[in-house]
Amino acid sequence: MYYVVTGACGFIGANLVKALNERGVNDIIAVDNLEKADKFRNLTDCEIADYLDKREFLELVEHGQLDGGIEAILHQGACSDTMETDGRYMMANNYRYSLALMDFCGEQEIPFLYASSASVYGGGSIFREQRDHEAPLNVYGYSKFLFDQIVRRRLAGSDSQIAGFRYFNVYGPREQHKGRMASVAFHHFNQFRAEGKVKLFEGYAGYGNGEQRRDFVYVGDVVKVNMAFLEERLSGIYNLGTGRAQSFNELATATVNACRALEGKPAQTLAELVAAGTIEYIPFPDALKGKYQSFTQADLGQLRAAGYGGEFANVEQGVAEYVKWLAR
């Protein structure tokens, strides 16, 4: 029996493969699209039983060739580019593909864990897993939102596990292939290494310079939640963040100070970093106005009610660990 991880060469998928390995599971079918081949590096320290292209995998599923052979599917594969404008591609890739895999898992009565997204909340200020708080701003968010609605209809009548996780701003190892869609922490690290400074947006929509706030969650914590739900066979749709909003100023300060610590230099305050020009504020882009989430903070009520009691790293803790990994 095999575990399937889709998006296995991607950011969260590769971390899940590694976590399964650490739990003694090597019978893993890694599913992905390697048209952009550099992602393969995320799996070079992992053990898998086989690799399948996402189209080949779907064909095997639809023709019944994997019936009885799969233990669980951890579905992380998706187009996560929030600036993608091809709605037909987004819906086929994120919605229809997910629906086919959920149908398969239901027929086989095996667990289906999948990646949703906090983008379903759009520009709202309440981040709770309820329909009246959901209003996505782009087609990526809509593809995730629509699938969640189908899941809600299926949950009550499902004999097998269906668990969706609305990821907030995830950062951490194995995201380097994502380019401009990589986390802010990744870009801050590279900016500081290349230019000796970090650039943040000036104030916008009532927020001061660099004071836009997000729920930044370390990928190691995301993996722990997935593994806990896989073991406990819990179903539902859950926010997966820290429940703590922190500013871009805090993130930048944590990144710079983690880099300074590696050089044996003392930490500096935000004010000191701004005065030295190490943190620089740039105009807020016109292209993002009206499409930008200036504040996100996961409501963890449902996650805690389901029994998950694990702690989540704050930005200072998570970024310090991540910078050590990046600087290897």
Amino acid identity, residue 185? Answer: A
Distance CA(88)–CA(176), nearest Å, equals 27
Closest CA to 67 of 105, 28, 113: 105
> Cα–Cα distances in Å, from 255 out to 141, 153, 170, 191, 267?
28, 42, 15, 10, 10
Q: Which helix (H) or strand (E) holds 315?
A: helix 315-326
The amino acid that residue 50 corresponds to is D
Tokens 């009885």 belong to which residue?
Answer: 68
List the catalytic residues. 140, 178
Burial class (CB in 10 A: 0-12, 13-18, 19+), 130: exposed
